Structure 1
Amino acid sequence: MNFTKKSNSEKIIFLIDFDAFFASCHIIENPSYKNKPLAVAYSEKYSIITAASYSARKFGVKAGLSAFKAIEICPELLLVKPNYSLYSKASKAVFKFFYENYSKRIELASIDECYMDVTNEYKKYGSVSKMAQHILNSVQENFNITCSIGISTNKILAKVACDRNKPNGYFRILPFEIENKLWPLHVGKMFGVGTKTALLLEKNNINTIGDLAKVDKNFLIDILNKPGLILWNRANGMDTDVLDINFSGLKSLGSEVTFNQPTQNLGEIEQFIYDMSFAVRERLLQRNLGAKTITVVLRYQEAKLTKKRVSMQQTLDKPIHTLEDIFAVSKNNFYKLWDGSLVRLVGVRASNTAKEYNVKHQLDLNKLDLKFSSVEKIVDGINEKLHQDKLLTGANLKIKLEEEEKVSKFQKGEFNDNKRRS
């Protein structure tokens, strides 16, 4: 790969996307799943597939398909329940690995993808392509997952390029290559163009990304409003090369997930809020912190292009750090914020932190001081020793069982109203 046409002002941006990440995490946890068709979804009939392994994709199983239909086309399909805590831990480990070994200029785009500015780093590897291949090899060797890399001089071209050589590959689209590599693609391949938008564009004889790039941008604004200008810029290869490293998640006390398919399924949303509350609590404990402010962030389906987020926060009189407290506040914030729309992203954040309670250094299972340690510290110590969350307090077990029961009832249709609940 040759970047000789790169000017001094151009940057080199990687978009790194983990391949079939949720499914891969379950395969790592249970190696007996390897090479078997596997999908992530609740086991009830009307559940929606959120991720599928490549073995399952060969049968046509994909995100957004109902579990009922997926099993119909692939009777041997294994369904595993979503486990956000598992994904969060794996994601955090890989991103930390990138941060420590490749570049500190990283922007997390979602739980399984990030942008990385390697402008000043790639020469250490001899070339951009050699650095990309080094990352692919290192991720597979150290974490037993694969990823794909899109390469360009800005974020949108890197994003589109990433999908061109999956899985476990890399692809580049530079500004001078968009006519040959970007424009021939169907308009639906443009990041930000969903099914409905693609149909609208096709009705107006805009079938390829090249058609989108060449059409009068004022016409796009007329039919799509502000997103029309955004899409026109993207089709012409124009986007920012500035990464938002301050909201990278590497320093923040927060977790979020972007759904493959927007959802109004309250049971599933609450389960994710629970799992993200767990992840936030873990990070607070690692830093010996409590948080006075808990924030829930949402992005609705119709805001996909503008990435507009809405949030609701609650500031408490005293810092909190227990799972039940964080989850209770987060869930309350969600129902105050949610307007009934399809949710594409949900996140939980902790801020306004203070060192107002003491958490000991990593606990040794053989040296637990049962007399002086709180129940949660004992539980944390045992789980840390086992490297799994096998032990729960009675309160946390009750919460988890209640949430699983809600999910089950929702999926079975035992309640289907979208009224706000607390």
Structure 2
Amino acid sequence: MSLKSKVIAHIDIDSFFVSAERKSNPYLIDKPIAIASKRKNAISISLSYEIKKFNISTVQPISQLQKKIPNLVIVNPNMNLYLDESESFFNFIKENFSDKIEKFSIDECFLDVTDFYKKFNNKEKMGFYIRDEIKKNLNLPVTVGISFNKYLAKMATNLAKPFGVKVLEKKDIKKEIYPLELQALPGLGRQYSKKIFKNQNLKISDFINYCKENKNINKNLFHIFQNLTSIGDDKILVEKKTTKLVSRQFTLENNDNYDAKHILEIIKILALDISNKMKRNLLSSNLIFLNFLTFEHEKKEKKLKLSSYIDDFEIFYKHLVKIFNALWDYQNIKRITVGFLNPVFRNNQKEIFTKPNLQDNKVESLIEKVNNQMKLNILLTLRQLKENKNKNKL
């Protein structure tokens, strides 16, 4: 291992929505919790570990969950709570561990802790410190994975969940990672692995051999292979203050089949988060987008240019639903990204002040029609009256 290798941490809040609700309402601690709406055919969007330990998939009709777990407690999603906790989580990390942070989802991030690590000289000790500080100060349980690239740091987190710490060094890969089932690879997905490899019983070591023997593997497989066998991707994509993009993304669990209702619930949470951020920063935009990345690594994206600049959640979400309906084709989605493009400060929106208002145009047309019928020119709009006054001053 090169001396220049970075120390990358991946931090993920355990059952985030459930943990946020328990922080708000301690009565829910140790109860089997499902986060879901009160609708008749509701589907869970988050489950507590009291349920997950039975290998129950996150995406479940509530009616089926209630049959399996009679004492199930259903909690209605509180999006504002989750967004507030998410913001506090990221801010705390920036202020206390590293400002080289890449937000990967609403409840997880990557950190370059190469400098922070120097205080400890023991990666596991550093991981426990990070975990315990977040729990003590934010009352949120997290799992911390540490390695030399982002992919392996996330794998370490998956292996340590819940509320654990795991370090993966170069020397550990063959011993600890290669014997695992193929489905343990983040970003591969069960459906995709079936399609490519046909055999469900393959190990990660089989995947490594397959990639070595096949020179024409696709970009997704090559990316995973590189992260397992070399330095891999250790670049932290820090969010820039002056950006042409304001977006949020959500990564879905590998083995869950998400239907349209569930995905729209996620899009709604992301949309609320972004619109709140736009308002806080006095930004608005007239160009929005929705992006899907499938487990087959196919990217589907659609942009929509609006007639006016917005920051409003309701309007933003309404248009995102339209885009979703145009894109959705029941594919196995790995990641959802929504956002605004080319945001501007509100006082820079010259179009608002220079472009004729449609309502004004209608009024002017009506006044012109009346004046023509009366063969007089006595009716004026307020704008026309002001223009005449200015002319008289010259």
Query: After TM superposition, is the score higher than 0.5?
Result: yes
**Equivalent residues in 2 for 1:303-342, closer than 5 Å:** 303-304=294-295, 306=297, 308=299, 310-316=301-307, 318-339=308-329, 341-342=331-332
Distance 1:340 1:96 in 2: 36
- State yes or no: 1:354 paired with 2:344: yes
Map of 2:279 onto structure 1: 285
- CA distance 1:342–1:156, shift in 2 (3 Å): closer
Shift of 1:123: 1.0
* Per-residue deviation, residues 217-253 of structure 1 (Å, max 9, x unmatched): 344857xx55443444344355211122237999963
3-state DSSP of counterpart to 2:342: strand
- State yes or no: 1:79 paired with 2:70: no
3-state DSSP of counterpart to 2:130: helix
Distance 2:236 2:60 in 1: 33
- State yes or no: 1:214 paired with 2:209: yes
- CA distance 1:194–1:178, shift in 2 (3 Å): same
- State yes or no: 1:276 paired with 2:270: yes
- State yes or no: 1:42 paired with 2:33: no
- State yes or no: 1:195 paired with 2:174: no
1:253 counterpart letter in structure 2: V
The structure 2 residue matched to 1:160, chosen from 132, 150, 155, is 155
Which moves more between the two structures, 146-155 or 341-350?
341-350
Note if contact 1:15-1:158 (Cα within 8 Å) is conserved in structure 2: yes
Which moves more between the two structures, 202-211 or 127-136?
202-211
Map of 2:60 onto structure 1: 65
Note if contact 2:104-2:250 (Cα within 8 Å) is conserved in structure 1: no
User: Structure 2: which 5+ runs fail to align?
Assistant: 349-394
Map of 1:296 onto structure 2: 289
3-state DSSP of counterpart to 2:59: coil
- State yes or no: 1:101 paired with 2:96: yes
Distance 2:206 2:59 in 1: 28
Distance 2:76 2:85 in 1: 17
Note if contact 1:212-1:235 (Cα within 8 Å) is conserved in structure 2: no
Distance 1:250 1:122 in 2: 30
- CA distance 1:271–1:202, shift in 2 (3 Å): closer
Distance 1:205 1:338 in 2: 27
Distance 2:26 2:183 in 1: 36
3-state DSSP of counterpart to 2:98: coil
Note if contact 2:15-2:46 (Cα within 8 Å) is conserved in structure 1: yes
Question: TM-score w.r.t. structure 2 length?
Answer: 0.77
Question: TM-score w.r.t. structure 1 length?
Answer: 0.72
Q: Percent of aligned pairs with the same residue?
A: 27
2:93 counterpart letter in structure 1: F
Which moves more between the two structures, 97-106 or 307-316?
307-316
Note if contact 1:151-1:172 (Cα within 8 Å) is conserved in structure 2: yes
- CA distance 1:329–1:202, shift in 2 (3 Å): closer
3-state DSSP of counterpart to 1:263: coil
* Per-residue deviation, residues 257-297 of structure 1 (Å, max 9, x unmatched): 334334342x44444444433322322222233x1234232
The structure 1 residue matched to 2:119, chosen from 118, 124, 141, is 124
Shift of 1:324: 3.2
Note if contact 1:280-1:349 (Cα within 8 Å) is conserved in structure 2: yes
Which moves more between the two structures, 173-182 or 75-84?
75-84
Note if contact 2:300-2:327 (Cα within 8 Å) is conserved in structure 1: no
- CA distance 1:275–1:216, shift in 2 (3 Å): closer
Larger Rg computed on CA atoms: 2
Distance 1:243 1:79 in 2: 37
3-state DSSP of counterpart to 1:246: coil
Give the alignment's Cα RMSD to 1 decimal: 3.1
Distance 1:25 1:234 in 2: 33
Map of 2:109 onto structure 1: 114
3-state DSSP of counterpart to 1:95: helix
- CA distance 1:269–1:171, shift in 2 (3 Å): closer
Shift of 1:322: 3.0
- CA distance 1:226–1:102, shift in 2 (3 Å): closer
1:245 counterpart letter in structure 2: V
Distance 2:167 2:202 in 1: 23
